[in-house]
Amino acid sequence: MSVICRTPGRGDVLLHRGGTESIGVRWTQDRGDGKGYQPVDLLHWQGVLELRSPSGELWYSQQCRMTADGLAYAVIPASAFAADAWGQRTVGEWRIRAWPTDDTDGAEVLGWGYFALAL
């Protein structure tokens, strides 16, 4: 699959244990006509938010909601960080990947960064 977006910038987030959280990104592209950027229609895309350890182990994943105005976001329920396994898991990396629903060749990284989990 060809690359269809430039390397996204890093966005660090602070998540709170016991609270509902959302992480999302908006994908825009240059219109090519000198009139700026426009959102990419993501209605025919699938996306997933992944929270990983500093060494890359997958700790949590959540399907993203995709919109026509370029927004891909996941709502993390308050119960997600309640498990005892999260006791020592306080920092890591988040990433939102997306791919067209009719394409199985690969995925695009729409956003990424580091997260810290506050008590």
Taking only the tens place, the pLDDT of each residue in 90-118 is 899 999 999 998 865 668 899 999 999 98
5 falls in which pLDDT band (50, 70, 90)?
Answer: low
Please say if the pLDDT value at position 3 is more than 70: no
Stretch 36-46: mean pLDDT, rounded?
91
What does pTM read for this prediction? 0.85
4 pLDDT above the threshold of 60: no
- Six-digit token string for 33: 């006509």
Q: Tell me if residue 86 falls in helix, strand or coil.
A: helix
Residue 7 has a pLDDT of 65
Beta bridge partners of 118: 16
Backbone φ, ψ for residue 84 (5° rounding)? -60, -30
| pLDDT tier at 64, thresholds 50, 70, 90 | very high
Is 86 a residue whose pLDDT tops 90? no
Buried b / exposed e over 31-69, threshold 16 CB at 10 Å, is eeeeeeeeebebeebbbbbbbbeeeeeebbebebebbee
Q: What is the DSSP letter of 8?
A: P
Paired with 7 in beta bridges are none
Q: Which of 56, 51, 55, 31 is nearest to 95 (CA)?
A: 51
- Asked whether the beta carbons of 85 and 71 are under 8 A apart, the reply is no
